[in-house]
Amino acid sequence: MPLIEECVRRFRLDDEDLRPEQFVVVREDDRIVAFGRIRPHGAVYELGCVGVLEQERGRGLGALVVRELVDRFPAREVYLTSDAPGYFERFGFQQIQNAPAEIVAKIVRVCDRLRPGTVAMVLHRPTARPSP
């Protein structure tokens, strides 16, 4: 966790309530090169803190983390907050004006301090189809 905590602060990501069990990591040669988390906000969950070490960028590791987190997401609606919405639109996320109160509160409490211009986004995962 020390490396993730340091990167979260350096990258100006959401540094509230960082817990190891919230994170997925990408490791190469026994070192963390990328990470992201699923953070609960009451009954609403957020995909967040997607980060790639500077020297590892441009290799698709951020996309790998986003896809893995979406696959693991515990709810049908995947919310996130970002000041780079174009990056997440390629995964199917859409900007929303009426985000859940928990996400709006997080933007006011955390994002406005770290990254002005943050927007709320959502991805609606398809419902599971019954097996034949």
The reply to whether 59 falls in a domain is: yes
Question: Rounded distance, CA 3 to CA 112, Å?
Answer: 24
pLDDT digits (tens, 9 = 90+) for 41-88: 988 999 999 999 999 999 999 999 999 999 999 999 999 999 899 999
Encode pLDDT of 83-132 as tens digits.
Answer: 899 999 999 999 999 999 899 888 888 877 777 788 999 999 886 555 45
- The total domain count for the chain is 1
Structural tokens at position 110? 């955390």
Residue 32 falls inside a structural domain: yes
Residue 21 DSSP symbol: G
pLDDT score, position 130: 52
Range of the structural domain that residue 63 is part of: 2-124
In a domain, 129, yes or no: no
Question: Does residue 11 form part of some domain?
Answer: yes
pTM: 0.88
- CATH number of the domain residue 58 falls in: 3.40.630.30
So what's the pLDDT on residue 113? 78
